[in-house]
């Protein structure tokens, strides 16, 4: 089934952006793409997307513009370069802070456009399958108008509240990614130090209320120290955890229990661990990194 949005512009064709773009093309959407590094558009162009040479001409191609960029400041700069956004809807899908997305909504309004934040949980496999978990923030009428497009990417897009609500949900979920992975890594190392067979431990864990599917998803990678071909990198996990800590502090919460994890992840900065799968934080929980 095709969407009433016959043409969509996509800004940002990294790991997730590329997968989102390929999914939209598969669903019959005419796609115009831009990336700071044009070579990263190659697979989408080969699949039928049209290349946009510069950001200023993006609004001329489509009334809906999806951004999948690294962070809030990068997104804000890219949106500023778009110029006049009258009669356009901006749909940011990357992870941003609550303050950042609200500022971007105001910026978009000043440029004449509307914004529907739509961060997603999931990575390339879920994007290809159209099963991303999408948490939208914005006006209900805007959400309803763009549901046909969002349903190409998510089986059940949810409007969670006004702008900022989606960012809060996404940061909360990504904090759990970091915390669960860290907790599992420590438990795994402890039982191995005590010579408990890993499968014995997993047989006890799996039927318990403590089990999370991500444990089995990452178990083999951790045991084999195999972190290549990431869908979500250590660097991005660190970025999102630090952003969560900023927002939690601003909300006058007490996130000090996460400070140690943030410090641990900062040890990976600039190292080979940064570009690989985020469960590589398992390499940081061993005794040689505990000083």
Where along the chain do its domains lie? 7-162, 168-289
pLDDT of residue 2: 42
At 96, is the secondary structure helix, strand, or coil?
Answer: coil
> What would the two tokens of residue 216 be?
């089995």
Secondary structure (3-state) at 238:
helix
Torsion of CA 27, 29, 30, 32, to 10 degrees: -100
Residue 110 contacts residue 86 (beta carbons within 8 Å): no
Per the CB < 8 A criterion, the answer to whether 234 and 278 are in contact is: yes
> Bridge-partner residues for 64, per DSSP?
8, 89
Task: State residue 287's pLDDT score.
Answer: 76
CA distances from 34 to 61, 78, 87, 101 (A): 11, 10, 20, 21
Cα–Cα distance for residue pair 17/127, rounded to 1 Å: 9
Burial 113-146, CB ≥16 within 10 A → b, else e? bbbbbbbbbbebebbeebebbbbbbbeeebbebb
Question: What pLDDT is attached to residue 290?
Answer: 45
Q: Mark residue 62 as left, alpha or beta (left: phi above 0; alpha: psi -120 to 50; beta: remaining).
A: beta
pLDDT given for residue 1 in this prediction: 36
Residues 176, 133: Cα–Cα separation, whole Å? 15
Q: Given CATH 3.10.129.10, say whether it is the number of domain 168-289.
A: no
The CATH fold assigned to 7-162 is Rossmann fold (3.40.50)
pLDDT in tens, the chain (291 residues): 345 566 999 999 999 999 999 999 999 999 999 999 999 999 999 999 999 999 999 999 999 999 999 999 999 999 999 999 999 999 999 999 999 999 999 999 999 999 999 999 999 999 999 999 999 999 999 999 999 999 999 999 999 999 999 999 999 999 999 999 999 999 999 999 999 999 999 999 999 999 999 999 999 999 999 999 999 999 999 999 999 999 999 999 999 999 999 999 999 999 999 999 999 999 999 976 544
The whole model's pTM is what? 0.93
User: CA 210 to CA 13: how far, in whole Å?
Assistant: 36
Neighbours of 272 (CB within 10 A): 11
- Separate counts of helices (H) and strands (E) for the chain: 11, 9
Bridge partners of 92, per DSSP, are 67
């Amino acid at each position: 089934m095709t969407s009433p949005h016959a043409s969509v512009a996509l800004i940002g064709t990294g790991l997730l952006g590329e997968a989102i773009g390929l999914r939209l093309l598969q669903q019959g959407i005419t796609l115009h793409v831009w990336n700071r590094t044009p070579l990263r558009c190659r697979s989408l162009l080969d699949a039928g997307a049209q290349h946009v040479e510069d950001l200023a001409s993006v609004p001329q191609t489509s009334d809906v513009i999806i951004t999948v960029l690294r962070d809030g400041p990068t997104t804000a700069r890219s949106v500023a370069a778009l110029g006049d956004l009258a009669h356009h809807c901006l749909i940011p899908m990357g992870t941003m802070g609550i303050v950042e997305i609200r500022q971007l909504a105001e910026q978009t309004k000043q440029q004449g456009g509307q914004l529907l934040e739509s961060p997603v949980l999931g990575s390339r496999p879920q994007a290809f399958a159209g099963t991303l978990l999408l948490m939208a923030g914005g006006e209900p009428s805007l959400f309803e108008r763009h549901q046909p497009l969002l349903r190409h990417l998510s089986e059940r897009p949810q409007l969670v509240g006004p702008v900022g609500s989606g960012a809060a949900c996404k940061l909360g979920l990504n904090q759990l990614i970091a915390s669960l992975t860290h907790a599992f890594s420590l438990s795994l190392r402890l039982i191995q130090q005590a010579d408990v067979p890993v499968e014995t431990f997993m047989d006890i864990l799996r039927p318990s209320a403590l089990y999370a599917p991500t444990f089995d998803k990452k178990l083999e990678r951790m045991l084999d120290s195999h972190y290549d071909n990431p869908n979500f990198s250590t660097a991005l996990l660190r970025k999102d955890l630090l952003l969560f800590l900023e927002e939690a502090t601003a909300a006058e919460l007490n996130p000090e229990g996460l400070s140690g994890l943030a410090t641990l992840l900062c040890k990976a900065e600039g190292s080979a661990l940064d570009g690989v799968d985020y469960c590589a934080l398992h390499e940081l929980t061993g005794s040689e990194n505990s000083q």
